Amino acid sequence: MKKTFVVLICFVFGHQTFSQSIYKRTLKLMGSRFDITVVAEEKVVAEGFINDAIVEIQRIERLISSWDPSSQTSMINRSAGIKPVQVDPELLSLIQRAIGISKLTDGAFDISYASMDKIWKFDGSMKNIPEADVIKASVSKVGFQNIIIDKEKSTVYLLNKGMKIGFGALGKGYAADQAKELLINKGVQSGIINASGDMNTWGKQPDGTDWKVAITNPLNKENAFALLPVVNKAVVTSGNYEKYVTFNGKRYSHIIDPRTGYPAQGIVSATVFAPKAELADALATSLFVMGKEVGVDRVNQLQGIECIIIDENGDVFTSENIKIEN
């Protein structure tokens, strides 16, 4: 399905005319902006729930951060090519799921991308494309096949020295999922965790309507083309319309194919709807690398997953069950 407009997403809130109200707090967590929204009858109760969500997100950051030298992720990276590292079942499961997404996307998604040499610069300092041999060498240590899992011993081993894993492409989504689950278990019937664009929703607005996302042109954010309901699921958008370089008339995005070392081309925005923000986060990035035809076809084979892809010409391609009327 093809249309011609550009997508940017934001949530649209209903009017506060019922006994329950929407309470929201914005703060910096995991190095990014988080917006935590809950529906509650009293502000003091809502603030307590928001505090609980913050504590949970901070716990996850300590577990998966590659910047914290004391984290289990950092220990895995330091032990690459040396020895396996025993980790918590939670981290082991997250890494196993990440490997599963790598297999699903034929390596377009790969948490060992952290091993890549940062040879592409998107700050205006690049004057030429890196040499082919330099690009090839930049991904020599990347490869999810070399992440060795021992379920019985709960260990992770990176086969080659210099390998690293990182959760930049799904960590915030996972944090959003876990914060949502925690709040549901505490009795919060409705809310949104927005982890810097990785959004997960549950329940309904105080007026009984579904949470909705606005489909909007990022160059004209006041003009929404459509509203789409988001019912107990996550929505994530990846974009490169602000971070790219152009050489010889070709546009190169900041999203690098971990298999080749070359930037993805052809797509400027990818939005994914999925049951979990973790999966939506990983797939949104993967679609850039897979390309619109392969990406849409792959999404159409996945139950409960939908996508909206915008190419560099401004044309929009959607998965089978996305209905947009403009």
The domain ranges of the chain are: 2-65+174-318, 72-158
Q: How confident is the model at residue 216 (pLDDT cuts 50, 70, 90)?
A: low
pLDDT attached to residue 253: 85
Count CB-CB contacts under 10 A for residue 52: 18
The answer on pLDDT for 265 being more than 80 is yes
The three-class DSSP label of residue 325 is coil
The answer on pLDDT for 63 being more than 70 is yes
pLDDT attached to residue 11: 55
pLDDT attached to residue 4: 37
The model's pTM is: 0.90
CA-closest candidate to residue 292, choices 273, 319, 274 = 319
pLDDT attached to residue 313: 82
Among 116-120, 160-164, 320-324, where is mean pLDDT lowest? 320-324
Superfamily grouping for domain 72-158: ApbE-like superfamily (1.10.3980.10)
CATH class of 2-65+174-318: alpha beta
Bin 101: left if φ > 0, else alpha if -120 < ψ < 50, else beta.
alpha
HSE-up of 105 (CA within 13 Å, CB side)? 31
- What is the 3-state composition of the chain as percent helix, strand, coil, each rounded to the nearest 5? 30, 30, 40
The answer on pLDDT for 2 being more than 50 is no
What residues contact residue 18 under an 8 Å CB cut-off, 6+ apart?
206, 207
Task: Name the token pair of 279.
Answer: 């999966």
* Of 317 and 191, the one with more pLDDT: 191
Strand-by-strand arrangement of the 234-239 sheet:
2-3, 316-318, 306-311, 267-274, 234-239, 198-202, 191-195, 32-40, 21-29
Work out the mean pLDDT of the chain and round it to a whole number: 89
